[in-house]
């Protein structure tokens, strides 16, 4: 969903949960999305349609964010430290995955942990030596005990080719 669609629903959510942070409201809205089309994210429907009624009825407030590396960071190989935040009242687990390309169809699980919340903490060290030079997407997802989920994605670039000097 686009940020203007989120913005229109923020006051509604805050009217019921006035002490919620902006991140908590965003997480609640994301966890209430009705998936449309192919399961999960797809090019046509994106993540789906925000369901404000579902958000208002939910006792679950979750928030997830990859805090490092930053969006569009580039690496020439070596280790990449991944940090993040995964919180929620009824958090069941968080899962870190990587996929090749901007909209991966296949994800590889890097790390999973149950019943633990983290705030801007170390999650995993990814050794990118031997990775083909291309775009990769990191995904951190929170799964709640009621089956809802919230995710954050960060695109990174791997380019280990030597620099070319031109005259």
Q: What is the DSSP string of 134-160?
A: EEEEEEEEEEETTS-EEEEEEEEEE--
* Beta carbons of 82 and 65 less than 8 angstroms apart: no
What pLDDT sits at residue 156?
97
Task: Give the C-alpha separation, 111 to 57, whole Å.
Answer: 31
What pLDDT sits at residue 4?
66
What pLDDT sits at residue 167?
76
Query: Could you state, in chain order, the average pLDDT of each consecutive group of 10 residues for the chain (167 residues)?
Result: 67 75 75 75 74 72 90 94 90 96 95 93 96 96 85 93 83
């Amino acid at each position: 969903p686009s940020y203007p669609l989120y913005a229109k629903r923020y006051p509604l959510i805050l009217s019921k949960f006035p002490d919620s942070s902006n991140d908590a409201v965003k997480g609640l809205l994301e966890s209430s999305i009705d998936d449309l089309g192919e399961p999960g994210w797809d090019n046509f429907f994106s993540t789906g349609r925000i369901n404000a009624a579902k958000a208002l009825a939910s006792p679950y407030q979750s928030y997830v964010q990859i805090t490092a590396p930053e969006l569009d960071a580039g690496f020439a190989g070596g280790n990449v430290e991944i940090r993040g935040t995964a919180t929620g009242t009824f958090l069941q687990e968080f899962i870190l995955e990587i996929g090749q390309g901007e909209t991966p169809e296949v994800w590889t699980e890097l790390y999973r942990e149950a019943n633990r919340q983290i705030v801007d903490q170390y999650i995993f060290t990814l050794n990118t030596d031997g990775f083909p030079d291309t775009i990769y997407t990191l995904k951190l997802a929170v799964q709640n005990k009621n089956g809802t989920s919230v995710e954050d994605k960060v695109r990174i670039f791997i380019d280990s080719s030597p620099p070319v000097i031109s005259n």
